[in-house]
Structure 1
Amino acid sequence: MNKPFPLRLAILFTAVWAGLAAVFAVIDLPLAIAVYNPASEWGLFLQTYGEHPTVFLVWLAAQVPLSLSRFLTPPLRLASRLLLYTVSLAAGYALVLMTVQRAMHAHLSIIGVILVLLAVLTLTLLVQAALTRVQPDRLKQLHRAAWLTLLLFGAELALVHLLKLGWGRIRFRDLLPDHSNFTSWYVPMGPTGGRSFPSAHSSNSWALLTLPAMVAALHASLSFRWAAWIFAIGWASLTSLSRVVIGAHFASDVLFGACITITLLVLLQRCLPLHRDLTPTSKQRSSDGPQSAHTAVYATRLETTGGNPSAPLAFRP
């Protein structure tokens, strides 16, 4: 059973968010004017690479359920692999595309797109071949955290871009010289073409908060878990701040981008079910030995498939 999000922490989070939203409704424009520096080197660096760690994490996360799809029944296996190969290709392609467009200020040709997709597919197949050598129960430790990453990124990406289309807020750097077309965050303007509210860089970077969950799922040491938290929060905070410094967003834009992702993360953690293990645990293997572990896997297969050891297992996330 999943642990509920502490009520006091939820109240504190809501209070801080509401307070900052109220403050930014007043100081959004003067704050943007005060910190604006379009030549900021660290701001431009994070504009280029701020979303890369999250997209790479999404690509890595897709490899886990993709490898475990071999335990699914044929119809589910096919559907799962189609979905996860698509996610893997899209994430890998996005990493290359963002680098080419933002760092090199270039564009991919049709041939370039095909070559990138083939390279990503080849890398994915190599990783999948390597993962067949990993004990399934080891991968299943990551299964829930991997799906949490995939679902969070997909949900926040869809919601943020839907809000962008409907809100139509103009970015600070695109305002008129007298700032007369500035609008507060609580005033939706409709589909005007403005895409300032909320910040996708902020929402995407805060999706790194699933990294500690993946590290914890591997039973890593406390120092590694702290390192994962520090990296995730630090990178997301700096990326969000950089968006205000270079004039791409207002402070309220990055606030709502972060809050959308954090809220979705809490909801998904509560709703995403735990998976059922199909292989013996490490404790079982150490106490019973390799032969007993093999017997336990064989017995589980017989029980799950109704006595047919060659039939595929029905793996339920």
Structure 2
Amino acid sequence: MKKNEKLWFLGIVAVLLVIFTFTDLQISKAVYNPQSGYGHFFEVFGELPGALIAVFSLAALITTGKYNVKWKAILLNIIFGVLLIIFSFMAAIMPMNYLGGIKAPVAGILAAVYAIAALWITKILSKEESKSLRQAAIIGILTFVAAIVVINIIKMFWGRLRFRSMEAPYNEFSLWFIPQGLTTNNEYMSFPSGHSANSAVIMWVTLLPTFVTSLRGKEKHLKVIAGTWIAMVMISRVIMGAHFASDVTMGATISIVSFYLISKWVKKNTSHVESESKGKVIKG
């Protein structure tokens, strides 16, 4: 993201947050519809691309691994393998939480399909663009983890009640920038939006041209696709009463900023994360 784009983005976010300070409640009252098919669809699948990016990234870390010490290769592949299994199950389970409950056999099959498909695809891609693929993989997994960790920590300390749990005259409504106290009750975890944050991990697709040659020159198109998905998820969360407009704005912003900061850091330190440059190389 260029400097002028950063300024425009942060400026727009700031303006939106000011507007939503005065209109959060009115917007939610106007659009709330828990029966919305549109809202339910993105409630179920809105976070899935982010989870699949994490699965793909972990698979890529396995298939592109090259180390000059055997024990290091074994240890890291075990760690990445375990994480691949965990995140594959996470990707399988996420939609089920909103589809009548988790079904273990189905989750297991889906997780296996996700993991095997990711390993197969990354193995093919790694033959030509190993370094770029590994760099994108590091960015992908760090962005997804950052979204989950940062968002959930803020949620617990902010304690903002969700609109769907309020009743007229909405005396429990609170402004987005005023923390309400520590909580572990999910209904008091409105700020910021986890769905919006996890959906914004899809910004990672803008890195596809770095290791998929057929997509080079398509960066702007990928940004539009990613931005559209994020916006649709954000709107859906307000419609479902799970979040206020300020919640979804902050959730998406945290992930987008994290993505660009992590990308900058990883690219700057490529020599430290890609592979060992000297000695005998052992493929992971």
Same-fold status (TM-score > 0.5): yes
Q: How many residues are treated as equivalent by the alignment?
A: 277
Q: Which residue of 2 aligns with 1:243?
A: 237
| TM-fit CA distance, 1:14 | 2.2
Q: Which residue of 2 aligns with 1:180?
A: 171
Letter in 1 for 2:251: G
Letter in 1 for 2:38: W
Q: Tell me, in whole angstroms, the C-alpha distance in 2 between the residues paired with 1:134 and 1:141.
A: 10
Gaps of 5+ in 1: 278-300, 306-310
Give runs of ≥4 in structure 1 deviating > 6 Å.
none
Q: Once the two structures are aligned, what percentage of the paired residues are identical?
A: 23
Q: Which residue of 1 aligns with 2:161?
A: 170
Does residue 8 in structure 1 map to residue 28 in structure 2? Answer: no
Q: Tell me, in whole angstroms, the C-alpha distance in 2 between the residues paired with 1:262 and 1:134.
A: 26
| Secondary structure in structure 1 of the residue aligned to 2:64 | helix
Q: Which residue of 1 aligns with 2:264?
A: 270
How well do the aligned residues superpose, as a CA RMSD in angstroms? Answer: 2.8
Q: Which residue of 2 aligns with 1:107?
A: 102
Q: Tell me, in whole angstroms, the C-alpha distance in 2 between the residues paired with 1:131 and 1:152.
A: 19
| Secondary structure in structure 2 of the residue aligned to 1:188 | coil
Q: 1:199 to 1:127 in 2, by over 3 A?
A: closer
Letter in 2 for 1:228: L
Structure showing greater relative contact order (alpha-carbon pairs closer than 8 Å, 6 or more residues apart): 2
| TM-fit CA distance, 1:58 | 1.5
Q: Which residue of 2 aligns with 1:43?
A: 39
Q: Tell me, in whole angstroms, the C-alpha distance in 2 between the residues paired with 1:216 and 1:314.
A: 22
TM (norm. structure 1) is 0.78
Within 5 Å, give how 1:44-123 maps onto structure 2. 44-71=40-67, 73-103=69-99, 105-108=100-103, 112=104, 116-117=107-108, 120=111
1:101-154, Cα deviation, whole Å (9 max, x unpaired): 312x0234xxx37x8458735863575467556654423221111111111111
Q: 1:16 to 1:225 in 2, by over 3 A?
A: closer
Does residue 312 in structure 1 map to residue 275 in structure 2? Answer: no
Q: Tell me, in whole angstroms, the C-alpha distance in 1 between the residues paired with 2:29 and 2:260.
A: 34
Q: Tell me, in whole angstroms, the C-alpha distance in 1 between the residues paired with 2:192 and 2:157.
A: 11
Q: Tell me, in whole angstroms, the C-alpha distance in 2 between the residues paired with 1:131 and 1:173.
A: 42
Does residue 31 in structure 1 map to residue 35 in structure 2? Answer: no
Q: Tell me, in whole angstroms, the C-alpha distance in 1 between the residues paired with 2:122 and 2:177.
A: 48
Q: Tell me, in whole angstroms, the C-alpha distance in 2 between the residues paired with 1:77 and 1:91.
A: 21
Asked if the contact 2:88/2:114 (under 8 Å) is kept, the reply is: no
Gaps of 5+ in 2: none
